[in-house]
Structure formats: C-alpha cells, structure tokens
Chains A and B, each alone.
Chain A
Amino acid sequence: MNNWKMVTLVGEDQPGIVAQTTEALYQNSLTLGETSMMRLGGNFSMMMMVSGEGDLSAALAPVAQALNLRLHIDDIAGRLHQHLVPNIQIRVMGADQPGIVARVTGALAASGFNILELESDVAGTAQEPVYIMTIQGISDATVETLQQAVDSLSEEGVDVSVSAIETLFA
C-alpha cells in the first residue's frame, strides 16, 4: 500500500518549475499520483500527490530554495482510482462583487450539491471586471431543483446556469 503525501509548491512563475520539481522527485525514487498545476495571478501553484520511500522534504528543499518556492507537505489518506464523475455543471457570470462565490456555493450546498472542481477567473477590464466561474459536481437533485436554488441570485445581476453533464462512455 502507498502512503501518499500532498505536496504544495507555490511561487512566482518562471520557466522550468515543473521540470526541476519532477526531476528532483524522480531522482529520489518518489512517484507522482494525481496533480493539479496552474498559473494563478502570475504565481505558479502545484498540488501533487506524491508517494515513495525517499525523503520528500530533503528531495524538494533544494529546488524550492533555488526557485524561491514555498513548500508544504501533508500526510493524507489519499488513494488513486477513486474518481467520481460529475453529473452537473454550473456556469456563473456576473459583475464582480463581494460574496459572489459564497452565495452561489452556499445555495448549492444547501441543495446537497458536492463540488468536485471549481475554477474561476476575472475577465473584463479593471474598470468593469466580470467574474466567471465553472463548477462541476455531483448531485441527486435535478437540474431544475438546483436552478431554482440559484435563481434568486439572478436578481442581483449574477447569471447562473445549471446544466446536466451526460458523460459519454463508448
């Protein structure tokens, strides 16, 4: 059985972060599981499931120092091959305003919606920012029920649309 750790590395974006980090893991016989890496606001952020016998913090410390990345390691009770397939997608768009994410996700949580992925971004211009968010998740509630749960937000100028994801298996 694997003992997985969750590794978080964050720092100012520059070329070579992924290559140097994963090379250090490989050289220390450490294995990658599921990962998510993305540039957010000029920073590069990495979340990685890592397992193996090697000394993880010793393996990554030199890279973190060289690239000026903050390193954080947690023991987790993670496993691979535990994917859940989302059946509902929600798109949100509206003038950027305080609490928009909290209000949308609050209404969804009250309907028993389980978020698997959430990505948001700010489009538009500095003068007129537009908040855009997509959420994928699982719910036993129907599209109509969830749409009703978020409809009151549209009066506040936030456009929220709920749709079913029919994942194809073929």
Chain B
Amino acid sequence: MPILEILTIPDARLKQSSEPVECFDDELHAFIAELEETRLAGPAAVGIAAPQVGRFQRIVILDCSQTRRPVPHHGHLILINPEITHWEGFELGREGCLSVPDYTGNVIRAERIKLVAQSPQGETHEYEMESYEARVLQHEVDHLDGLLFLDRVVSRRTDLFQRKVYKKGST
C-alpha cells in the first residue's frame, strides 16, 4: 500500500476547506486504509486528516490509546463528516503537526466537546470527548476547515496571565 505524501507549510492547499463525504463506497475505504498507513509511517501521530494528504474531504483518523501517560479515549476512530456540536471550558496545551515540521506551540482548545460523525459505513454516531482526545479532534477538524494550529498559537506568556486572572477571580 502506498504511503501518501503529506502536504507541509507553506503549501497553500492546507488552507483549503474540505467537502463532506457523500459516497461511503469501496474507494473511500481504500483511501482510509492508505491514510491510516500514512499516519503510522511517520513519527507517532495521534491523528491525521484527509486534506493533509491532498484529499479535500471531511475524513479524520485519531487514536489516543497509545499516549505516554494514559488519557481518556475512545480507541481508534475513523470519523467521517465530524461536526462539533458543543464546546465547554478551555485548556492550554502544546501542539505539533505533521504538516508543520520542527515547530510546536501552545494552543487554547475547548476542554470538553460533543460531536456527531459518521462511520466509514455511513452510520451516524455521537461522541463526548475530553482533554487530550478533545484537543486532537479539534486539531483535525481545523484541518478540514483549512486551519492549522499555527492560526491559533498563543504566546507562552498567556498561561502566566490566565493564572493571574484566575487568582484574582478566586480571592
């Protein structure tokens, strides 16, 4: 099975929005297998989105079951047309990206989310995710909308100031 080429910055195609999947056919399943092969070929990626390999359809794969420290997760997920329906809380965390070599940065994401997505067979499922897995999903949905974590990076200082505000609010 071929390993697909990953688009990297400054490739303008990474800013392109992806279209919903309408055909849940063998061709889709073959592509998903190649996308998964590509995710596993690189350095331990917990997720990948179809537009990262130049296919502009709303398909993501994530797997948070192998993190260094265990986190709450739903195992290996293939999500078609994922749509976040609810956001709650916020958390600062460090992100890197297969499409952004040799750079990591701090990004604020919702801490808990609810989402609706279809399976590769087209069945609709709902999920509730939290912390790290929720972060990965938001990172992937951004790819589908033509956004990179670079579009959301905040200063390292942000954490300091959040803490200040929090402290003020609590006294």
Chain A residues within CB distance 8 Å of chain B: 81, 83, 85-86, 91, 93, 117, 119, 121, 123, 130, 132, 134, 136, 164-170
Q: Which residues of the partner chain B approach A93 to less than 8 Å between Cβ atoms? A: 163, 167
A36–chain B nearest beta-carbon distance, Å: 10
Contact A168 B46, beta carbon cutoff 8 Å: yes
Q: Report the separation of the CA atoms of residues A147 and B72 in the bound assembly, to the nearest whole angstrom.
A: 23
Contact B71 A166, beta carbon cutoff 8 Å: yes
Q: Report the separation of the CA atoms of residues A148 and B157 in the bound assembly, to the nearest whole angstrom.
A: 26
* Known A93-B167, A123-B167, A130-B167; contact A168-B136, beta-carbon cutoff 8 A: yes
Contact B95 A166, beta carbon cutoff 8 Å: no
In the complex, residue of chain A having the shortest beta-carbon distance to the beta carbon of B99: A170
Q: Which residues of the partner chain A approach B96 to less than 8 Å between Cβ atoms? A: 85, 167-169
Majority-rule SS of A interface residues: strand
**B164 at interface by CB-CB < 8 Å:** yes
Contact B103 A170, beta carbon cutoff 8 Å: no
Q: Report the separation of the CA atoms of residues A104 and B72 in the bound assembly, to the nearest whole angstrom.
A: 32
* Known A119-B156, A119-B157; contact A168-B139, beta-carbon cutoff 8 A: yes
B73–chain A nearest beta-carbon distance, Å: 12
Which of A81, A85, A119, A170 gathers most chain B CB within 10 Å?
Answer: A170
Q: Which residues of the partner chain A approach B10 to less than 8 Å between Cβ atoms? A: none
Contact A165 B160, beta carbon cutoff 8 Å: no
* Known A86-B94, A93-B167, A164-B69; contact A170-B160, beta-carbon cutoff 8 A: no
Number of interface residues of B (CB under 8 A): 33
* Known A168-B46, A169-B44, A170-B97; contact A119-B136, beta-carbon cutoff 8 A: no
Contact B156 A91, beta carbon cutoff 8 Å: no
**B169 at interface by CB-CB < 8 Å:** no
In the complex, residue of chain A having the shortest beta-carbon distance to the beta carbon of B47: A170
Shortest 6 CB-CB contacts between residues of A and residues of B? A170-B47, A167-B94, A169-B96, A168-B95, A123-B164, A169-B45
Contact A132 B132, beta carbon cutoff 8 Å: no
Majority-rule SS of B interface residues: mixed
Question: Given contacts A85-B94, A134-B156, could you give 14 more A-B pairs where the C-beta distance is less than 8 Å?
Answer: A81-B102, A85-B104, A93-B163, A93-B167, A132-B164, A134-B160, A136-B156, A164-B69, A165-B94, A166-B93, A168-B46, A169-B46, A170-B46, A170-B97
Q: Which residues of the partner chain A approach B167 to less than 8 Å between Cβ atoms? A: 93, 123, 130
Which of B93, B95, B102, B160 gathers most chain A CB within 10 Å?
Answer: B160
Contact B43 A169, beta carbon cutoff 8 Å: yes
Q: Report the separation of the CA atoms of residues A130 and B164 in the bound assembly, to the nearest whole angstrom.
A: 9
* Known A130-B167, A167-B94, A167-B104; contact A121-B46, beta-carbon cutoff 8 A: no
B157–chain A nearest beta-carbon distance, Å: 6
**B35 at interface by CB-CB < 8 Å:** no
Contact A166 B103, beta carbon cutoff 8 Å: no
**B79 at interface by CB-CB < 8 Å:** no
Please pick, from B68, B94, B136, the residue contacting A170 in the complex, using a CB distance under 8 A: B136
- Contacts of B62-89 to chain A: CB distance below 8 A: 62, 67-69, 71
Contact B132 A168, beta carbon cutoff 8 Å: yes
Q: Report the separation of the CA atoms of residues A86 and B44 in the bound assembly, to the nearest whole angstrom.
A: 16
Q: Which residues of the partner chain B approach A134 to less than 8 Å between Cβ atoms? A: 156, 159-160, 163
